[in-house]
Amino acid sequence: MLLGDIVSEIRSKNAGPFWVTIDVFCGDTNTYEKVRSLLGKESVATLYQIPESQLQRYDIENLHVVKFSFPRPVGQGSLLDRDMHGAQYSILLSELPLAPS
């Protein structure tokens, strides 16, 4: 089962010129609790090839959202920036396999 198959939406965007934020909208309490328990910081840090210490995680229970933020590999708009708006980071996370429970 892929993360993108069970949640309502996964959206990524810039959080300023040096950070990216990814929101996982779960849609309901059951999905939120499942995602919260199966989606660890370690697997997300590995996916984006960043140290786990640089990854911030926020569980927003009343919105059924799990949010991750981390530094962009290069500053927004720099010569090596391949995703000016940070919108493509969500695709990788949507294809992350989760162990069935």
pLDDT in tens, 9-50: 999 999 999 999 999 999 999 999 999 999 999 999 999 999
Instruction: Give yes or no for residue 101 having a pLDDT over 70.
Output: no
Average pLDDT over residues 42-60: 97
pLDDT at 100: 60
- The full set of domain ranges for the chain reads 3-94
Instruction: Give yes or no for residue 62 having a pLDDT over 60.
Output: yes
Question: Of 67 and 83, which is predicted with more confidence?
Answer: 67
Distance from the first to the final alpha carbon of the chain: 10
> How many Å is the Cα radius of gyration of the chain?
13
